Structure 1
Amino acid sequence: MTPPGDEPSGQTASVQSALAVSSRPDVRPKTDLSVLKKRADFLRAARARYKPGPGFVLQARRRAPDESASGIRVGFTCSKKVGNAVARNRAKRRLREIARLILPTEGRDGWDYVLIGRRTDTATRDFIALQNDLRAALAAVHR
């Protein structure tokens, strides 16, 4: 452990860790995904297209011309059927991560997406399989 005044090249530990993370090739830059928060947006998505999959259910809708049409918006939900708060939060964390990785490249601008977690499958399914499920669901919804 180094004393507080002995940081190499005058950088603090938090700056060094931020530099180390940003130089990793597998970390993508932050994208312009907006998060759905209003109940009305979730209800509109529920009336639109949906694609059930083994790890989650995808609901998708194209926003109307009078709504803000720029960017991709995404929402996440897990009911109490998924489990206790710990299980629901774990499932939503996994859904957020696959959305962060897949939607910027394969989602469409001006669309809203809602990912709904499934009881045991969302938390236990292989992460690569979840990503492939999202790719397949997006392809089916956009056909």
Structure 2
Amino acid sequence: MDRLRQRADFLAVANGARVNSPAFVLQSHPRDDSGPIRIGFTVTKKNGNAPERNRIRRRLRELVKRLDPVSMQPHHDYVLVGRRDALSRPFATMLDDLRIAFTKPARHMAKGPAKGRGPRTDRTRSSPAPAASRKPD
């Protein structure tokens, strides 16, 4: 199992299926190549300061280590987005949540974006055009 590290890979997975849990969101995206399963971890700044975010990320990595890789679909990329509840939720409960989450995309979610939503656009914002300056006559 490899790690996702490039931003473009994270954005591609963000367009795929997702399963919500109190401690995390599991995003998945099928790939066309025959490479290994790849997984990425992310925690946003709204979840706390750096030590808290790192603790959430460590707990998520440990969950994946303890999970049986057979439950993951081959030729898929996964991203675990940590939530604040990952700090206080019991580890065994989170492991059960992750096992359940890995079974849901295979059964309940189709390829592509969720029903009722259009494709996501690039999240980068373009800077506004500078105002035209007038030269005095």
What interval of TM-score do these two structures reach, taking the shorter chain for normalisation?
0.7 to 0.9
Match of 2:95 in 1: 131
Relative contact order, higher structure (CA 8 A, sep 6+) = 2
Q: Using the alignment, how far apart are the partners of 1:60 and 1:81 within structure 2?
A: 23
Deviations 1:103-131 (A, max 9, x none): 51311211111000012x11111000110
1:106 aligns with 2:71: yes
Which deviates more, 123-132 or 103-112? Answer: 103-112
TM-score (norm 2): 0.75
Q: Using the alignment, how far apart are the partners of 1:106 and 1:91 within structure 2?
A: 22
Higher helix share: 1
Q: Provide the aligned C-alpha RMSD in A.
A: 1.0
> Where do 5+ consecutive residues of structure 1 fail to align?
1-32
Structure 1 runs, 4 residues or longer, greater than 2 Å off = none
> Where do 5+ consecutive residues of structure 2 fail to align?
108-137
> Aligned in 2, Cα 1:113/1:103: closer, same or farther, shift over 3 Å?
farther
TM-score (norm 1): 0.72
1:78 aligns with 2:46: no
Q: Using the alignment, how far apart are the partners of 2:23 and 2:70 within structure 1?
A: 20
Identity of aligned residues (%): 44
Q: Using the alignment, how far apart are the partners of 1:108 and 1:46 within structure 2?
A: 17
